[in-house]
Amino acid sequence: MSKNIVLISGSPRRNGNTQRLTQEFVKGALEAGNTVEIIRAADKKIAACCGCNYCYKDPAHRCAVKDDMQECYEKLAAADVIVVAVPVYFYSVSAQIKCLIDRLHNPVRNTFKVRKLALLSVCADDSDSVFDSIRVMYRSVLSYFSLEDGGMVTVHGVQNIGDIEGNPLLADAYKLGLNI
């Protein structure tokens, strides 16, 4: 059965290692007959959550902040699967994607039909332990929202654009897309 996949890319760098890993995932997902829509957080104007809780008071859960997040809510609401693709920035996700994630504080998220989440991540450091905090956040989201783990591909040691080329984990990203 075909799935509607929304991939949120948190890399501000065009044609970088995150995008390359994403391309392999998308290739596999499309070959499997799925649809894939990519939200590039860096291309959106998404302000930080101001914690006003207007979205909890508003019957339609509208956010008080009017920006590109409204469009993101619509796309995420239609997703069967959400994939987060992000580089590690100082042991966490990039600021661009963090704003989007924080705006999911909105209870509108409870109307989303998504049941599966997956993670693609890259980092410059040579140690796989750099992903530990992102893995904890990912597993916490899975647990809190009772989502199925769609899988995770993490690639360390890829600092400069193109460093990921030839990495065998690109094939893992393709397989993840194919089997999501």
Question: Any idea what DSSP says for residue 64?
Answer: S
Spatial contact of 68 and 47, defined as CB atoms under 8 Å apart = no
Measured in whole angstroms, the distance separating CA 156 from the mean position of its chain's CA atoms is 18
Nearest to 70 by CA among 95, 39, 94: 39
Question: Rounded distance, CA 74 to CA 109, Å?
Answer: 10
> Roughly what angle, to the nearest 10 degrees, separates helices 17-31 and 169-179?
40
Check residue 80 and give its pLDDT: 97
For residue 89, give the 3-state DSSP assignment. strand
Check residue 63 and give its pLDDT: 95
CB atoms within 10 A of CB 42: 15
| Cα angle, residue 94 at apex, residues 21 and 60 outer, rounded to 5° | 100
Question: Rounded distance, CA 143 to CA 139, Å?
Answer: 6
Question: Rounded distance, CA 48 to CA 136, Å?
Answer: 22
Sheet-wide strand order for 116-122:
35-40, 4-9, 81-87, 116-122, 148-155
Tokens of 148: 């199925």
pTM: 0.94
Check residue 61 and give its pLDDT: 93
Check residue 41 and give its pLDDT: 95
Q: What is the pLDDT along the chain (180 residues), one digit of tens a residue?
A: 899 999 999 999 999 999 999 999 999 999 999 999 999 999 999 999 999 999 999 999 999 999 999 999 999 999 999 999 999 998 899 999 999 999 998 999 989 999 999 999 999 999 999 999 999 999 999 998 889 999 999 999 999 999 999 999 999 999 999 999
Strand residues in the chain grouped as ranges (E): 4-9, 35-40, 81-87, 116-122, 148-155
Check residue 1 and give its pLDDT: 85
Check residue 43 and give its pLDDT: 96
